[in-house]
Structure formats: structure tokens, C-alpha cells
Amino acid sequence: EDKVVQSPLSLVVHEGDTVTLNCSYEVTNFRSLLWYKQEKKAPTFLFMLTSSGIEKKSGRLSSILDKKELFSILNITATQTGDSAVYLCAVEAGGTSYGKLTFGQGTILTVHP
Amino acid sequence: KAGVTQTPRYLIKTRGQQVTLSCSPISGHRSVSWYQQTPGQGLQFLFEYFSETQRNKGNFPGRFSGRQFSNSRSEMNVSTLELGDSALYLCASSPGRRPSLSAYEQYFGPGTRLTVT
């Protein structure tokens, strides 16, 4: 069965700090890994990674995938209070596993002013 | 481009009743996936539809069912509601794919908060 484990489960930082969120996975026939941000509403898409070693960046957020070691990291630099949210990592398997994302339990990030 | 929409946003039902939730995907998206989110279990996959066909199903009892219409709108139905069905039900749309090497991201709707009393 596909499995995604995120760490840490929660993190408290101050504005301006840099944080690294971790995601390790076990999946049969890996297709993609996705990061989402969830505030008190639906998950918002951040990144999708399919190739190892390629960094995706969007402003202060960046992510990289290591397919050999089966993990991904999400970095947030110069954190702001608006970054406070649950960050979810998910993987999609290939083959006939259509449309199914397997999610980790999430990392709760709290950024204090 | 309009995002994924879900109706209703909130729903209160009693045990034993049934409920139907609706999801309209992003225009042009043909794949709709449904998820249940609870504090204890997190986000769990229910099923996926593409071109009116259910292509994948998660580990939920038969009380959970769905369908997709020719315009890609999807509904899910839960019959004989139980207290444990209280959750946020999310749908997500993506362009979908035939069997291929391409991967597509999923975009989530705002969800329907179902409370069973």
C-alpha cells in the first residue's frame, strides 16, 4: 500500500525564519509528488514534481525531489504570518491508479510575528 | 478561469438519511476525484471519474457512490448515514489523461462540510 510520511508534524517559528518540511514516500510505480497548502479551507496547489533533482520555485517557496532516496523537501524562506497553514504532501502512482492521491498527515506550520 | 465549485457548502443530516453532494470541475477538466477529510484519518481517496466512468475506487463501503455527467460535473452519494461520515468532502479536478506518461496536478474545490447527528 502506498504510504506518505511527513515530518515534523508541527513547527513553530518566527517571521523571517527559514523552514524545511520533509516528505518521504513509498509508492508502487511513482508518477508524481505534489505539495499543497491548506488553511481553513480546501488545499491550494503549490508544486508538482516528477523528475529527480529538479527544483521548483515560486517566490519564497521551493521544492526538490529525490527519487532515489524517496523523499522531497519544501523550503520556505523569510517566513511570514500568512505562511501559517497545514502543508500537505501527496503522491500519485502510475498504472491504473487513476486520480488517486495518497496524502501524508501534514505539517502544521505556525509563524509568529 | 473559474475554479472548482461544490454545493452545498454545509449540510446537517441525521443518521440513516442519505445525502448527495455536487462538484463542478474547472472548465475543460475531465477527471474528478473525491476525498474525505477527517481530523483522525486525514485526506482519503474515495473515487475518481473520467468521461462518465469510474476508473478508480478507494477503500470505502458501498454506501459511498458517485457518478459523472457528460459535462464532467460529478455527484457523490452517501446512503444510510452514520455518525462517522461527518467530514469535509472535497472534490478535485484535473485535465485527466488516457493511459500515458503525463502527470497532471489536481485542483481542489472548497469542500462540503457534512455533519451527521
Interface check A93 vs B, CB under 8 A: no
Residue A96 has pLDDT above 80, yes or no: no
Interface check A97 vs B, CB under 8 A: yes
**Hey, of A100, A102, A105, which one would you mutate to test binding to chain B, going by the most B CBs within 10 A of its CB?**
A100
3-class state of residue B52 by DSSP: coil
Q: Do A97 and B56 touch (CB under 8 A)?
A: yes
Residue numbers of chain B with a pLDDT score lower than 70: 1, 97-103
Question: Nearest residue of B to residue A47 by CA position?
Answer: B105
Chain B residues near residue A107 by CB distance under 8 angstroms: none
CB contacts < 8 A (A, B) = 65
Question: DSSP state, B73?
Answer: -
Interface check A46 vs B, CB under 8 A: no
| Category of B51 on φ-ψ map: left (φ > 0), alpha (ψ -120 to 50) or beta | left
| Cα–Cα distance, B66 to B47 (Å, whole number) | 8
Q: Please give the mean pLDDT across all residues of chain A.
A: 93
pLDDT in tens, A44-85: 999 999 878 788 999 999 999 998 999 999 999 999 999 999
DSSP B4-45: -EEE-SEEEE-TT--EEEEEEPPTT--EEEEEEEETTTEEEE
Q: Do B55 and A34 touch (CB under 8 A)?
A: no
The partner residue sitting opposite B103, judged by closest CB among A31, A96, A106, is: A31
Interface check A92 vs B, CB under 8 A: yes
Residues of chain B with pLDDT > 70, as a percent, come to: 93
Interface check B60 vs A, CB under 8 A: no
**Residues sharing a CB contact under 8 Å with residue B90, sequence separation 6 or more, in sequence order:** A42, A43, B6, B34, B35, B36, B37, B43, B108, B109, B111
Q: Do B105 and A90 touch (CB under 8 A)?
A: no
Strands B112-116 and B10-13: parallel
Interface check B41 vs A, CB under 8 A: no
| Cα–Cα distance, B84 to B41 (Å, whole number) | 11
Mean pLDDT score, A9-28: 96
Give residue A75's pLDDT: 98
What cell does B69 get? Answer: 455527467
3-class state of residue B77 by DSSP: strand
Q: Please give the mean pLDDT across all residues of chain B.
A: 92
**Residues sharing a CB contact under 8 Å with residue B20, sequence separation 6 or more, in sequence order:** B75, B76, B77
Burial group, residue A39, by CB count within 10 angstroms (0-12, 13-18, 19+): exposed
Give residue A53's pLDDT: 75
